[in-house]
């Protein structure tokens, strides 16, 4: 009989915990292969989608994302557009600067560079995040049932009623904190998401900066028109 009471207690608790498991989102975004890194949502966190690159570029990206000092690279992102103010235009293709008598022009030239196949680099795992409320509540459930069954004998209606009352009291006292923890916390591993975001931003900055290890090896030349 006491084992059935325990099952009756388990059922509503299991129903309550079910929504906490498997909180994921299926993204329908597919990163194009144009050499630009992107932060992509995967299940419950952000992952870095970086173009295939060499080890030197990846090392520089990771160290920049971690805030370690970098060499000073010249930013080649600023380009003058005829008739307009100076703006930053990012193009994945090399840019040919054409100097004419009326001022500089910008042409986008296909230098035949093949876009790299993007790969998803999992950010280095930092310190293991503490479990969220859902994980703690699971251990709470086990503790509750174990404590209840270990402390009392299974015989007698009064003992079973006492067990049920004790379990109800524990549930009422513990569950508000668990619920508030679930309600106030953010799902997924935020540290992993933040690290992936840093890597994407660092890679794009390096790829857009002349002379950096991640800058495309463009073949361009300055053409001067008469």
Residues 98-137 that bind another protein (CB under 8 A): 98, 105-109, 129-137
Could you tell me the smallest distance in angstroms from the CB atom of residue 210 to another protein?
11
The CA-based dihedral angle spanning residues 146, 150, 156, 162, taken in that order and rounded to the nearest 10 degrees = -60
Among 114, 157, 172, 226, binds another protein (CB under 8 A): 172
Instruction: Convert residues 24-53 into a mask of x (bound to another protein by CB under 8 A) and - (unbound).
Output: xx-xxx-xx---x-xxxx--x-x-------
Among 165, 211, 219, 220, binds another protein (CB under 8 A): 165
Size of the site for another protein (CB under 8 A): 95
- Write out the binding residues for another protein, residues 46-85 only, by CB under 8 A: 46, 64-67, 75, 77, 81-82, 84
Could you tell me the smallest distance in angstroms from the CB atom of residue 120 to another protein?
14
Quick one: which segment of 50-58, 113-121, 173-181 binds another protein (CB under 8 A)?
A: 173-181
Could you tell me the smallest distance in angstroms from the CB atom of residue 224 to another protein?
12
Could you tell me the smallest distance in angstroms from the CB atom of residue 130 to another protein?
5
Among 7, 10, 74, 89, binds another protein (CB under 8 A): 89
1 binds another protein (CB under 8 A): no
| 88 DSSP β-pair partners | 78
């Amino acid at each position: 009989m006491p084992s059935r009471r325990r099952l009756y207690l388990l059922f509503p608790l299991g129903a309550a915990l079910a929504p906490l498991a498997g909180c994921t989102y299926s993204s329908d975004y597919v990163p194009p292969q144009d050499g630009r890194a992107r932060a992509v949502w995967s299940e419950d966190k952000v992952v870095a989608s970086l173009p295939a690159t060499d080890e030197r570029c990846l090392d520089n990206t990771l160290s920049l994302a971690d805030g370690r000092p970098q060499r000073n690279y010249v930013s080649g992102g600023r380009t003058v557009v005829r008739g307009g103010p100076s703006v930053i235009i990012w193009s994945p293709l090399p840019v040919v600067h054409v100097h004419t008598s009326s001022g500089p022009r910008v042409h986008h030239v296909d230098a035949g560079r093949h876009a790299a196949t993007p790969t998803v680099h999992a950010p280095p795992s930092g310190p293991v995040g503490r479990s969220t409320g859902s994980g703690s509540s699971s251990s709470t459930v086990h503790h509750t049932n174990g404590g209840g069954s270990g402390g009392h004998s299974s015989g007698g209606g009064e003992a079973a009623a006492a067990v049920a009352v004790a379990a109800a009291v524990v549930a009422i006292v513990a569950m508000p904190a668990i619920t508030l923890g679930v309600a106030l916390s953010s799902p997924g591993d935020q540290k992993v998401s933040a690290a992936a975001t840093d890597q994407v931003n660092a890679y794009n900055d390096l790829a857009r900066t002349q002379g950096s290890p991640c800058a495309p090896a463009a073949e361009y030349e300055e053409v001067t028109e008469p």
